[in-house]
Structure 1
Amino acid sequence: MRVAEAFRAAFGADPETVWHAPGRVNLIGEHTDYNDGFVLPFAVPWGVTAAVSPREDGVVRLLSLQSGSGPVTRERLEDSAGWERYAAGVLAMLGDRVRGADIAVDGDVPQGAGLSSSAALEVSVASAVNEVYALGLTPMEIALTAQKAENDFVGMPCGIMDQAASALAKEGHALFLDCRSLGYRNVPLDLAAHGLEILIIDTRVHHELADGEYAKRRAECESAARALGVPALRDVTDLAAALERLSGNERKRTMHVVTENHRVEALIGLLRAGHPAETGALLNASHLSLRDQFEVTVPELDLAAEAAVRGGARGARMTGGGFGGSVIALVAGDRVASVRESVSAAYSAKGWREPRYLRATPAQGARKVG
């Protein structure tokens, strides 16, 4: 295993354990997680593998096979920079229970595609550290630790969806998660049995969320909930009445969150009824809401979604935080080529770089691999 060999070369001994955690793609339920709402992601076949051994001296040594440089030594976790912050943040959240570690990571999540390589890194490290220090954390507790690392150490105010999908997903299933109660169940997602598949269209465009737009959307949702006198927008039961009391961005954000929660439940209903092909309309509606009400799409995402449907996709929507990244398209197996041709032609007409196409099947969540 490549990461174990790199660990041995860098640190002079075999790792005590090796864990893999996947990235994720969100089928539906976007920007609902931090509103205590519903999400339906699934794990993707690409992820991060972490080789870890404990230390007793409080020192953390970190190596990434993707960084292009050798291992770094951090005696203070707060001195970590770049990719290191995600691993160091996990250790910081675990506090005195962890007395240092040697960590090597190797990832194959396509960068910038919005498939949550950060959550995969956090969950793989947290899972391995959980084992070597016998912390007894459940998969959900690992996900919460990883989320707290990203919120409090990295400074990204994300919800729980990405980390939960990485830690809890089951092969061949989507993960239905109630982000308030943290109750979840794995919903069978055997698209191949119906002649369907999910095509990920990576726009290769990334507008940095750190610009503050993500945090701004979250603040607008929280402000709207306060104005309506509810704990979170998930609690809005009379949407028409709520919209009458709001204006501007708060009104638009509320409309998206409330209707998106309904779309999650409707999509699960169609899956359980054995009609996955009929979910395309919900994907289209989700994208339009993210474009017009939540305003997190960009022209590259909009064109990819529109061209995919023109090319024969049953439905398409942006996935992830927005401002770049990927579109997912629900496509019959015999229409994949025409969807790709349609999107590529639309991009070429704009003079944009060719998108990257990935065919995703629901993968297993975090697991020990060495």
Structure 2
Amino acid sequence: MNASATQPISAQNVADTFATVFGYPPDGVWVAPGRVNLIGEHTDYNDGFVLPFAIDREATVAVRLRADQTARLISSYGDKKMVEVDISTLSHGTMTGWTAYPLGVVWVLAQMGVEVGGFDLYLHSTVPSGAGLSSSAAIECAVSTALNDLYGAQFSPKELVLIGQRTENEVVGAPTGILDQSASLLASDGHAVFLDCRTRESHLVPLDLSGAALRILVVDTKVTHAHATGGYAERRASCELGAQMLDVPSLRELTAAQLPEAALRLDAVTYRRVRHIVTENQRVLDTVVVLDDAGPTAIGALLTASHSSMRDDFEISCAELDLAVATALENGALGARMTGGGFGGCAIALIPEAEELKVRDAVDRAFAKANWQAPDFFTVSPGPGARRIL
């Protein structure tokens, strides 16, 4: 995906832009957020536990159904050229670029028996792409929520999660789990979403940052990644190999007590991958308990331990992420970690409100000293999930 537009925009502005482009008003406007994964990285496709929350960076779509089989799509970013396709001819090879996400949703809906038809769509997104904040899932969830309403398909939010995952897996070619779509569709203000990826059961966990005078600062390193290629797929394959060699259906089955035996049966690299998943699952469970018992001020050490595991055992960090985390911790952060699939993207730091400017300045200066591109900074709060807004 190309870089997304980052300026907030109102529902009415999106509707007005749609009307200007297409010559008539939309049937409605829908929005779905990106997400920050508080903790639980690469555990989702291992049937494990995750704890994401929705953020106030969102994909917004204005949509109007058509009487024919034509889909016309245009976005606020990239070359801003309209893409026109015949819905009836959709196949894997015809869906490329950013339109693979909305058109992929349409293709999956058709595979599930929904009578899909043509539509016009305008997209405005403020979720930075390639930053580990789930810009693609935000688009999928906004579009699936809109089309679910307009087609009268009556899928539940949890069913829409699986539609988004199928889009990623079968159309985009990214072997992702259900974390991103679950955060975007199931979220609520002031809460994180605890998700058991094996049972798909979830519940909301209080994450009252403002009440504790805390902020989560996102540091976008500007190092981009792509889930459909490279290390993400390699890590997933390594986890599947580890489970196979240990004779378990998934790494979710393992506990820390079984790691010494695993070390004897696995090569060193596969063992480290397995150890990350096992210990990360436990950190998610511990974080939920701590949030319930003591609140967000007490979770910093768990976040930092998660980063160390991703850096050393799963090896998905990079120099920029490591510097952002270390510098934040040295300047008042209670905890910090990379978030997202890895190999670039964003770090998050849990900081007292009074320390925000100090941490920002320190990380900025550290990147300048390393002669790296200046990072972007913004704070996020747990917000609501996908919904119709006009």
SS of the aligned residue for 2:80 comes to coil
Q: Give identity over the alignment, percent.
A: 48
CA contact (8 A) 1:29 1:40 kept: yes
User: Which residue identity lines up with residue 115 of structure 1 in the other structure?
Assistant: L
Q: Among residues 117, 132, 149, which one is paired with 1:131 in the alignment?
A: 149
SS of the aligned residue for 1:230 comes to coil
Q: Among residues 2, 13, 17, which one is paired with 2:28 in the alignment?
A: 17
Report what 2:251 is aligned to. Answer: 233
Report what 1:77 is aligned to. Answer: 90
Instruction: Show CA shifts across 1:150-193 (max 9, x none).
Output: 11001111110001100110011000000111100011100121
Establish whether residue 52 from structure 1 lines up as the match of residue 63 from structure 2: yes
Establish whether residue 246 from structure 1 lines up as the match of residue 266 from structure 2: yes
User: Which residue identity lines up with residue 351 of structure 1 in the other structure?
Assistant: N
Q: Which of 108-117 and 356-365 deviates more?
A: 108-117
Q: Which of 192-201 and 255-264 deviates more?
A: 192-201
Alpha-carbon offset, residue 71 of structure 1: 1.9
Establish whether residue 87 from structure 1 lines up as the match of residue 102 from structure 2: yes
Q: Quote the Cα distance in structure 2 between the aligned partners of 1:28 and 1:100.
A: 39
Q: Among residues 333, 336, 340, which one is paired with 2:356 in the alignment?
A: 336
User: Which residue identity lines up with residue 165 of structure 1 in the other structure?
Assistant: A
Report what 1:175 is aligned to. Answer: 193
Instruction: Show CA shifts across 1:317-362 (max 9, x none).
Output: 0000011110000101111122112211211111112211111110
User: Which residue identity lines up with residue 337 of structure 2 in the other structure?
Assistant: R
Give the aligned length: 370
Q: 1:131–1:275: structure 2 CA closer, same or farther, 3 Å change rule?
A: closer
Report what 1:6 is aligned to. Answer: 17
User: Which residue identity lines up with residue 131 of structure 1 in the other structure?
Assistant: D
Structure 2 residues not aligned, in runs of 5+: 1-11
Instruction: Show CA shifts across 1:79-115 (max 9, x none).
Output: 2320000000000000151122222111111233211
Report what 1:120 is aligned to. Answer: 138
CA contact (8 A) 2:43 2:281 kept: yes
Q: Among residues 318, 328, 341, which one is paired with 1:321 in the alignment?
A: 341
Report what 2:213 is aligned to. Answer: 195
User: Which residue identity lines up with residue 108 of structure 2 in the other structure?
Assistant: M
CA contact (8 A) 1:172 1:188 kept: yes
Report what 1:158 is aligned to. Answer: 176
Q: Which of 181-190 and 67-76 deviates more?
A: 67-76
Alpha-carbon offset, residue 295 of structure 1: 0.5
Instruction: Show CA shifts across 1:105-128 (max 9, x none).
Output: 111112332111100000000000
User: Which residue identity lines up with residue 186 of structure 2 in the other structure?
Assistant: L
CA contact (8 A) 2:133 2:340 kept: yes
Q: Quote the Cα distance in structure 2 between the aligned partners of 1:3 and 1:310.
A: 42
CA contact (8 A) 1:3 1:65 kept: no
Alpha-carbon offset, residue 205 of structure 1: 1.2
Q: Quote the Cα distance in structure 2 between the aligned partners of 1:80 and 1:9.
A: 26
Q: Quote the Cα distance in structure 2 between the aligned partners of 1:6 and 1:195.
A: 38
Q: Quote the Cα distance in structure 1 between the aligned partners of 2:27 and 2:240.
A: 43
SS of the aligned residue for 1:103 comes to strand
Q: Quote the Cα distance in structure 1 between the aligned partners of 2:130 and 2:167.
A: 20
Q: Quote the Cα distance in structure 1 between the aligned partners of 2:196 and 2:357.
A: 36
Q: Quote the Cα distance in structure 1 between the aligned partners of 2:54 and 2:260.
A: 35
Structure 1 residues not aligned, in runs of 5+: none
Q: Which of 248-257 and 62-71 deviates more?
A: 62-71
Establish whether residue 34 from structure 1 lines up as the match of residue 49 from structure 2: no
TM-score computed with the length of structure 1 as normaliser: 0.97
SS of the aligned residue for 1:52 comes to strand
SS of the aligned residue for 2:304 comes to helix
Instruction: Show CA shifts across 1:50-98 (max 9, x none).
Output: 1112234222111112233232210133323200000000000001511
Alpha-carbon offset, residue 13 of structure 1: 2.1
Report what 1:355 is aligned to. Answer: 375
Instruction: Show CA shifts across 1:20-75 (max 9, x none).
Output: 00000000000000000000000010110111122342221111122332322101
Report what 1:149 is aligned to. Answer: 167
CA contact (8 A) 1:43 1:364 kept: yes
Q: Quote the Cα distance in structure 2 between the aligned partners of 1:356 and 1:297.
A: 18
Alpha-carbon offset, residue 316 of structure 1: 0.4
Pairing 1:226-305 to 2, within 5 Å after superposition: 226-237=244-255, 238-305=258-325
Q: Which of 336-345 and 116-125 deviates more?
A: 336-345
SS of the aligned residue for 1:181 comes to coil
Q: Quote the Cα distance in structure 2 between the aligned partners of 1:107 and 1:50.
A: 8
